[in-house]
């Protein structure tokens, strides 16, 4: 749940915003024709995108390119709230700021990933602190200042040892990103994402996603994904002492009771019996 929200607008678009979130929280974010820099204080989320499935830590940031993303923030912190700073990177704003340089930069970049995790440095943290100052003193903010802050962020990211280049993101804002269904499925086989969410990560409607899936795997999404998850569950049951509930979670099942029923239906015996018969 979002408990507080404040923002600065530039040319009638929200450019920088601060959000306070009370976990647990799942958000679907769609950044079509835009990029985004998101900094998480105290606790980071599980991030799902067409090319990324990763857990961020507190005081880390992520760069997101065009596409669909899911942020899954769970209650794993003693803090009641998590604070998030978001800087939107609009192509039209970047074109204005880099009138002479941007075309050449774009020509030099290709095949970049859709998301990059940026491990926070002291410099990035200081930049976030400077934004906090302006949120406390909003009367000081105008378009000229916002332009300077965007340039400052990009310069700092270029110098960060934890990211190849901010310009990879900029280049992708002006290109068509073709997402392969198979790549998304293989990356998120064991993520707790529903079919409609997987479809959105592929930039497809649910019906189109099912048709493309059938072409690729000659099976329905539900049947194929469940079979792959159960195969991994069988392996974990054989080689680990993890509780059944944890194995269910690790293989993408949120409900351990459903996992147990499905396991028995597909494999023929309950997970506990399978473990007894097949433990190494």
Share of the chain above pLDDT 70, in %: 79
Q: What is the tens place of the pLDDT at every residue in 142-187?
A: 999 999 999 888 878 777 655 555 656 665 555 555 568 888 898 8
Q: Which of 128, 164, 179 is nearest to 17 (CA)?
A: 128
Q: Where in the chain is the domain with CATH 2.60.120.810?
A: 2-172
* Cβ neighbour number for residue 173 with a 10 Å cutoff: 21
Confidence of residue 57 (pLDDT cuts 50, 70, 90): confident
Which range among 2-11, 20-29, 74-83, 179-188 shows the weakest confidence by mean pLDDT?
Answer: 74-83
Contact status, residue 34 vs residue 173, Cβ threshold 8 Å: yes
Class in CATH terms, 181-278: mainly alpha
Locus of tokens 């930049």: 127
Within its chain, how far is the Cα of 68 from the centroid? 8
Mean pLDDT of 217-245: 94
Which CATH number is 2-172 given?
2.60.120.810
CA distances from 149 to 29, 132, 195 (A): 23, 12, 39
**Quick one: which of 80, 120, 96, 92 has its CA closest to 34?**
92
> What is the model's pLDDT at position 154?
82
Q: Give bridge partners of residue 64 from the DSSP assignment.
A: 36, 115
pLDDT at 111 over 50: no
What is the Cα–Cα distance from 130 to 133, expressed in whole angstroms? Answer: 5
CA distance 247 to 203: 30
CATH 1.10.10.60 location in the chain: 181-278
**For the segment 70-100, what is each residue's pLDDT rounded down to a tens digit?**
777 766 555 578 888 989 888 778 778 876 5
How big is the chain by its Cα radius of gyration, in Å? 22
The whole-angstrom distance between residue 226's C-alpha and the CA centroid of its chain comes to 23
Average pLDDT of 33-55? Answer: 77
């Amino acid at each position: 749940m979002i408990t507080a929200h404040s923002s600065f607008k530039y040319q009638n678009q929200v450019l920088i915003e601060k959000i306070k979130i009370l976990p647990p929280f799942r958000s679907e974010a769609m950044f079509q024709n835009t990029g985004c820099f998101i900094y998480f204080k105290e606790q980071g989320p599980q991030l799902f995108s067409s090319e990324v499935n990763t857990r961020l830590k507190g005081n880390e940031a992520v760069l997101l390119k065009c596409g669909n993303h899911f942020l899954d923030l769970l209650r794993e912190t003693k803090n009641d709230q998590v604070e998030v700073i978001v800087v939107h990177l609009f192509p039209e704003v970047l074109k204005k700021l880099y009138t002479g340089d941007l075309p050449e930069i774009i020509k030099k970049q290709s095949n970049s990933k859709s998301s990059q995790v940026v491990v926070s440095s002291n410099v990035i943290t200081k930049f976030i602190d400077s934004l906090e100052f302006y949120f406390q003193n909003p009367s000081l903010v105008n378009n000229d200042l916002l332009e300077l802050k965007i340039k400052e962020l990009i310069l700092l990211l270029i110098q960060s040892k934890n990211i190849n280049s901010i310009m990879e993101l900029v280049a992708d804002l002006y290109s068509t990103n073709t997402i392969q269904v198979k790549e998304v499925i293989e990356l998120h086989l064991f993520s707790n994402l529903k079919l409609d969410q997987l479809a959105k990560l592929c930039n497809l409607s649910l019906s189109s996603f099912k048709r493309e899936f059938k072409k690729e795997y000659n099976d329905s999404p539900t049947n194929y994904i469940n079979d792959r998850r159960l195969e991994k569950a069988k392996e974990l049951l054989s080689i680990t002492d993890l509780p059944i509930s944890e194995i269910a979670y690790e293989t993408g099942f949120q409900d351990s009771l459903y996992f147990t029923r499905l396991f028995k239906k597909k494999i023929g015996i309950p997970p506990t019996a399978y473990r007894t018969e097949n433990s190494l």
